Amino acid sequence: MTAIALDGLATAAQIKKELTAEVEELRKQGKRPGLGTLLVGDDPGSHSYVGGKHRDCAEVGIESIRIDLPATATEADVRAAIADLNSSDDVTGYIVQLPLPYGMGANQMLELIDPKKDADGLHPENLGKLVMNSSGKFESPLPCTPAGIVELLRRYEVPTRGREVAVLGRGLTVGRPLGLLLTTRGVDATPTLLHSASEDIPAAIRRADIVVAAIGSHHFVKPEWVKSGAAVLDVGISRVEGKLVGDVDPGVSQVAGHLSPNPGGVGPMTRAMLLKNVVEMARA
């Protein structure tokens, strides 16, 4: 058996096609979705990532506003830029690209974002709304990577209702919010959140119908740990000998029923969900 690929590139392309039509309709109503980005410093990965977001915007007709500050920018400079984005009528949603320069409190800066413009869905107020929401009807932006994972499963008709899900990693951007999203009505999964202190991780993975690996440890998930026919999503990335590799051993493709490639799986879905958040904010 060879796993069916959960193709994030193709799925994200379809979502962007749908969003293009939605943006056109919003424009007819006098509403213009706009994404803002705030980038501080010279990190090459961050510059590449932000550049990709602006190319995505151009592809679907979303306006984009980019603020780049040098690595020498002060905390006051960053606070002023966030205030500008909060007040801009051209920005319906925006992100503060991480990491910020050493010594600058990322959490404190993120908390300054207007929750109604929180395109990443990671402001404490929006995460709190996710905690309180079990209905599956969301009026606040969702964290992009968890939303992308659930959407990828849905579009490939991978059942989630009543299914056991092993989530490796308890980070703020994936593991913690994904566990909450998986238990909302309409998804109705049963997640187990695994981390460095969890005992017998292989046994927990063997029970799972769906495995989400988001720990940044190359090829951590072994084929013998995976239930035959399970859906496996490879989210974490690490660099080995200059190459980016995922958390899932390539041999898992011979055991799993579905497998997301890395790259080309969840990553494109994260970017597509960011665009969706911006469009939904413009609609509100």
Active-site amino acid positions: 53, 97, 120
* Dihedral angle of Cα 260, 265, 270, 271, to the nearest 10 degrees: -170
Running DSSP on this structure, what letter comes out for residue 106?
H
What does residue 69 show for φ and ψ, rounded to 5 degrees? -115, 150
Q: Are 172 and 199 in contact (CB under 8 A)?
A: no
With 0-12 CB in 10 A as exposed, 13-18 as middle and 19+ as buried, what is 189? buried
Q: CA dist 214 to 56, 73, 79, 109, Å?
A: 24, 32, 31, 25
Contacts of 28 (CB under 8 A, 6+ apart): none
Q: Are 234 and 262 in contact (CB under 8 A)?
A: yes
**Side chain identity, residue 177:** P
Running DSSP on this structure, what letter comes out for residue 118?
B
Antiparallel, parallel or unpaired: β 237-240 and 210-213? unpaired
Count CB neighbours of 56 within 10 A: 21
User: Position of tokens 């300054």?
Assistant: 112
